[in-house]
Amino acid sequence: MSAGTNLVVPVVLWGKHPPTHCISCIFLSADQRTLVSGCYDGQICIWHVDPSTFKMIPRCLMVGHTAPILCLANGSIVMKNNYIVSSSENGEMCLWDLVDGKCREVVKLPYVHTNVQSYKMKSSEDVKLFCNGYYAEIFVMDPFSLEIIFSLSSREKSDWISALYVLQPAKREEDVVLGLTVQGTVKVWTIEASNDHISENEPIFENESKIIRCLNAISLICCSQYQRTVLIVCSKYWQIYDAGDFSLLCSVAPPFRERWFGGEFLSVDRVLVWTDEGKGYLYFLPANCIPDNKEFHKKSNKDDAPFLYCTLSDAQIEKQPLACPPAMRYYHSTALGKILLRGDSEGAVKAWIVPEFPIEEIVSMKSRKDFKPERIQPFISTSVSKTWKAISPPPVGILDQLDVNDQPSIKLTASIYLPQQSRLVVGREDGSIIIIPATQTVMLQLLHGSHQQYEDWPPHQVLLGHVGRVNCLLYPNHTHSRYDKIHLLSGGVDFAVCLWDLYAGSLLHRFCVHAGEITQLLVPPNNTSARVQRCICSVASDHSVTLVSLTERKCVVLASRHLFPVVTIKWRPLDDFMIVGCSDGTVYVWQMETGHLDRVLHGIAAEEVLYACDENANNSSSGESGLANPAVHFFRGLRHRNINAIRHATQRGIHQLQQLHHSKNQDESEHQRTRAFPLMIQGLRTNPKDPESHILCFDIEALIVQLLSEEYSAMSPGTLEAHGLINSTEYEKVAALTKSASPDAHKKIAEFFGRVKDKAGDMERILKEKDKHGIISKVKEGAENVQTKIQAKAESIGIKPMFADKKGKYNI
């Protein structure tokens, strides 16, 4: 990737509809000023929190992960280092700076974590991450380098760890890790304070292990006050154990139709547990579970069971069914005391203050026969969509001028920006495609002025042909010049691919070859056969892939019968193969000329074939990058601060996620080219259900170049010189260089130029006489535009305005 040194200012036009945010995990920063929520689509939202009132508003959306976020953990305990670490379901880990939203470090591991506890060891200066997940060890990682420092392994009954807890025993110099395996064996590791012997390759083995039959635990927490009791939460029960010998002290089943989902000690004698319905339950523990009670560790007593004295719920929660269990976390806030946070599938965040009852009150509650636990409502409840509604005027969208006042706006579902024409093509939910001058529509949304009073401005073009949502758009000429300039393609929910004449605004052809909605349109690479070169490739939700010929107006290859959704398409042009990768890892190799399925590959063979295509593409410069993991490119982009690469990767990442995409397989030269445009517009969508938002990327360098060149072209050489933009000595220097050694030759050249000039002058005069309609002046205008562009190009590569001067002289 080309490392861009140019300054690009991105501006997001969110539109009236809030992005979907199905929260998978939630986190509150140490200073309680920032709430972080990770979602199933892989984005992370940062909320600004007022620590005294707990009012919060979403501040920024961090895009980077390509899979659901599974864990969020503190990256540092140093107050000024506001870092968090996120880990996703496909093994990506990122370190984010919460202040500016930048990604500081990123790795992709073969290990997927399901839980990360950040903990400061005795021997280290800052926190380390203790991770467990789909593997049989516990990894201890450095949050800044995201490298595994050492691991904790099991000598006996090696199994996945389902829950872990790290603590520092009182009066001891070491750290103790409690781990519980999936099959219910609790293990204890001790990490000595002097960790000179710790290395990546020498795992630390457990000191003790005991089978306690707590299958598939969700969390394990040690009571911090006496470190004598342990709370273990499984979906079907929560239990208290004696930390000394891990004997069971009590056990509680969940309420009807709910499953336990997590818990925490509130104090020595109280626990808070929550369920997958997103409700919190407060229990008072029986005497045999309280370490400073004389009854401690005795057999559980029927008359003294854990006592439910309060619930944290919400009337609203019960009405509204959720798509998935909400994420919950308990915090101790300095201003508000104990709070329980909850983030749900609707992007809503709720918080409860956990009430503190004096012990006498609980005892009296306990004695009452008809006692019903009090239900506490959340003290704060907000959501992304609520915030959106509260903004007045609503966040602007890129086509807001087309909205009719009292009707809900039509959602924008696909977009493509044509920088050469400076036009934005937008597909909408109702099947219409709007083509509009980009700068004008942007001006309308961002700038105040008289232009806002014009009716029907900017003029737009409407293409009508789809029934229902437009899923993807493709302008193949953008990717390669072998395609006709007028061709624009769109794929819709109506199973059709439409071929449009961009300039005439007419429907040229409708391809109805798929049996599912079109999700993606791609351009085959340049070195395929002549026939395939005139095709574009389309992918549909029925897992079929076709090559449709734009010249023959028919389907050339129909590659269907894939059992799983198509996730990758790669090419082996020299072998005439199109290689289709499916979500289950199967790879189908199709012959493009004959349309035959050459072979189906699984496992390692499949991976190798896909990998070989990448190698192939790298060797030939014109090769298609295909749809390689966009996360990798994204991360690379972040590291090199290359906005182009980030933009490119983000877009692909987002699209890959939802499998609704049009191709943007630009290779490197394409990247170079896009940089020259002062404005680029990029669609942004984090979930397939969402309408598109748009990112405007203003390239300041390109803008300056364009403005300067426009100005120069308007000046005469005299003014240029007067402004000191050119000077004659410089000119002479260059002229001297171009002078031929022999004066004779020089004279000849001069004569030749003179003749050319005379001829050109004659021609111009003749044309002017003929031209009654001012065509010439238009042509001239056009020529001047070209000149401007050339000039801009020239200046960007370091040629001074001398060039303009020469041109100017000829024009006189």
Give the C-alpha separation, 418 to 425, whole Å: 8
Site for another protein in 632-661 (CB under 8 A): none
Smallest gap from residue 106 Cβ to another protein (A): 20
Phi, psi of 338 (to 5 degrees): -80, 130
Stretch that binds another protein, among 155-163, 381-389, 639-647, 732-740 (CB under 8 A): 155-163
Site for another protein in 351-390 (CB under 8 A): none
Which residue of 107, 148, 182, 188 would you call a contact of another protein, by CB under 8 A?
Answer: 182
Is residue 14 within 8 Å of residue 411, measured between CB atoms? Answer: no
Residue found by looking up tokens 């340049």 in the block: 526
Q: Given the complex with another protein, which of 135 and 731 has the nearer CB atom? A: 135
Phi, psi of 200 (to 5 degrees): -60, -35
Q: How many CB atoms are located within 10 Å of the residue 309 CB? A: 19
Q: Given the complex with another protein, which of 475 and 495 has the nearer CB atom? A: 495
Tell me: does residue 319 bind another protein (CB under 8 A). Answer: no
Q: How many CB atoms are located within 10 Å of the residue 524 CB? A: 25
Site for another protein in 270-299 (CB under 8 A): 276
Count of residues that interact with another protein, criterion CB under 8 A = 44
Q: Given the complex with another protein, which of 419 and 468 has the nearer CB atom? A: 468
Burial of 741 (0-12, 13-18, 19+ CB in 10 A): exposed
Tell me: does residue 253 bind another protein (CB under 8 A). Answer: no
Tell me: does residue 332 bind another protein (CB under 8 A). Answer: no
Task: Provide the terminal-to-terminal Cα distance of the chain, rounded to the nearest Å.
Answer: 44
Give the C-alpha separation, 699 to 674, whole Å: 10
DSSP β-ladder status, 56-62 and 69-74: unpaired
Smallest gap from residue 166 Cβ to another protein (A): 22
Q: Given the complex with another protein, which of 143 and 431 has the nearer CB atom? A: 431
Q: Which two tokens stand for residue 442?
A: 């942007």
Is residue 354 within 8 Å of residue 317, measured between CB atoms? Answer: no
Stretch that binds another protein, among 394-402, 467-475, 478-486, 590-598 (CB under 8 A): 467-475
Smallest gap from residue 606 Cβ to another protein (A): 8
Tell me: does residue 201 bind another protein (CB under 8 A). Answer: yes
Tell me: does residue 585 bind another protein (CB under 8 A). Answer: yes
| Residues listed for the chain | 812
Per-residue mark of binding to another protein, 212-251 (x: CB under 8 A): ----x------------------x----------------
Which residue of 55, 689, 739, 809 would you call a contact of another protein, by CB under 8 A?
Answer: 689
Which residue of 517, 690, 699, 795 would you call a contact of another protein, by CB under 8 A?
Answer: 517
Q: Given the complex with another protein, which of 140 and 444 has the nearer CB atom? A: 140
Q: Given the complex with another protein, which of 329 and 562 has the nearer CB atom? A: 562
Phi, psi of 135 (to 5 degrees): -160, 165
Give the C-alpha separation, 525 to 483, whole Å: 12
Q: Given the complex with another protein, which of 276 and 795 has the nearer CB atom? A: 276
| AA letter at 485 | K
Tell me: does residue 345 bind another protein (CB under 8 A). Answer: yes
Q: What is the number of alpha carbons within 13 Å of residue 797 lying toward its C-beta?
A: 7
Which residue of 214, 223, 493, 592 would you call a contact of another protein, by CB under 8 A?
Answer: 493
CA distance to 311, 563, 571, 580, 629, per residue, from 584 (Å) = 43, 9, 19, 12, 16
Which residue of 6, 126, 160, 458 would you call a contact of another protein, by CB under 8 A?
Answer: 160
Tell me: does residue 257 bind another protein (CB under 8 A). Answer: yes
- 3 state SS of 723: coil
Give the C-alpha separation, 479 to 648, whole Å: 14
Q: Given the complex with another protein, which of 154 and 528 has the nearer CB atom? A: 154
| AA letter at 696 | L
Stretch that binds another protein, among 25-33, 558-566, 645-653, 748-756 (CB under 8 A): 558-566
Stretch that binds another protein, among 479-487, 528-536, 598-606, 715-723 (CB under 8 A): 598-606
Concatenate the DSSP letters of all residues of 242-271 into one string. Answer: ETTT--EEEEEPPPTT--EEEEEEEETTEE
Smallest gap from residue 155 Cβ to another protein (A): 10
Tell me: does residue 530 bind another protein (CB under 8 A). Answer: no
Stretch that binds another protein, among 347-355, 370-378, 465-473, 744-752 (CB under 8 A): 465-473
Give the C-alpha separation, 346 to 687, whole Å: 13
- 3 state SS of 758: helix
Tell me: does residue 541 bind another protein (CB under 8 A). Answer: yes
Which residue of 48, 53, 77, 134 would you call a contact of another protein, by CB under 8 A?
Answer: 134
Cross-strand pairs, 499: 489, 509
Give every strand in the sheet of 461-464, ordered side by side: 412-418, 423-428, 432-437, 461-464
Q: Given the complex with another protein, which of 114 and 665 has the nearer CB atom? A: 114
Give the C-alpha separation, 486 to 395, whole Å: 34
Which residue of 324, 391, 722, 756 would you call a contact of another protein, by CB under 8 A?
Answer: 324
Tell me: does residue 698 bind another protein (CB under 8 A). Answer: no
Q: Which two tokens stand for residue 239?
A: 């239990």
- 3 state SS of 701: helix
Tell me: does residue 690 bind another protein (CB under 8 A). Answer: no
- 3 state SS of 787: helix
Site for another protein in 725-784 (CB under 8 A): none
Tell me: does residue 607 bind another protein (CB under 8 A). Answer: yes
Residue found by looking up tokens 């709070």 in the block: 339
The residue ranges that bind another protein (CB under 8 A) are 40, 89, 110, 112, 134-136, 153, 158-160, 182-183, 201, 203, 216, 235, 257, 259, 276, 321-324, 345, 467-469, 493-495, 517, 541, 563-565, 583-585, 602-604, 607, 689
